[in-house]
Amino acid sequence: MSSKTIVQDDSENFKILVATDLHLGFEEKNLVRADDTFNTFEEVLQLAVKNKVDFILLAGDLFHVNQPSIASLERCISLLRTYCLGDKPINMEFVCDQAEVFKHCNHPTVNFEDQNLNVSIPVFSIHGNHDDPCGYREMSCMDLLSSMGLINYFGKQTNLQELKINPILLKKGSNKIAIYGLSHIRDERLERLFKDKKVFMNRPLEDVDDWFNIFVCHQNRVSRPGTKYLSEKCIPSHIMLTIWGHEHESLIDPVRGDSSSGYICQPGNSNKSSTVATSMCKGEAGTKYVGLLTISGKRFKMEPLELLTVRPMHFETVKLSECDEDVSNSKKTQEFVRSQIEDILLKLSLKRSGHPKQPKLPLIRLRVEYTNETQHFNGIQFGQEFQDRVANSNDMILLRMEKKSIQKKAKCIDDQVLSNIMDNEEMDNIEHIVDQYFRTANDENQLELLSVNGMAKAVDLVVNKSCPDAINKVVSHQMKKMKNYVIKQEGLNENNISDHIISYQSSRTQKSKDEANDVREVLSSQQHTSRSRNDSDNESNISFAKSDDEEISNDSSTSTGVQNVRGKRGRGSRGSRATTRARGRARGQTTLNF
List the catalytic residues: 130
Cα–chain center distance at 413: 24
Contact 140, 257 (CB under 8 A): no
Q: Is 486 exposed, middle or buried (0-12, 13-18, 19+ CB in 10 A)?
A: middle
Tally of helices (H runs) and strands (E runs) in the chain: 13, 21
Share in percent of the chain as helix, strand, coil (round to 5): 35, 20, 45
374: Cβ contacts below 8 Å, ≥ 6 apart: 328, 329, 330
Could you give the CA distance from residue 276 to residue 295 in angstroms, rounded to a whole number?
Answer: 27
Instruction: Quote the CA–CA distance of 583 and 351 in Å, as a whole number.
Output: 75
In degrees and rounded to multiples of 5, residue 458 shows phi and psi of -65, -45
**How many Cβ atoms from other residues are within 10 Å of residue 349's Cβ?**
11
Note the residue count of the chain.
594
Report DSSP state, residue 396.
Answer: S
**Distance of CA 234 to CAs 59, 191, 221, 242, 260, Å?**
18, 9, 11, 12, 10
Rounded CA separation 311/125 (Å): 25
From CA 389, how far away is CA 445, in angstroms rounded? 56
The residue type at 52: K
Q: Among candidates 122, 116, 48, 125, which has minimal Cα distance to 89?
A: 122
Q: How far is CA 98 from the centre of its chain?
A: 35
Within 13 Å and on the Cβ side, how many CA atoms surround 237?
Answer: 2
Report CA 591 to chain centroid distance, whole Å.
30
Task: State phi, psi for 178 to the nearest 5 degrees.
Answer: -120, 120
Q: Does the CA dihedral 374-379-382-386 come out positive or negative?
A: positive
DSSP character for 260?
A: S
- Contact predicate 63/275, CB 8 Å: no
Nearest to 123 by CA among 161, 163, 160, 82: 82
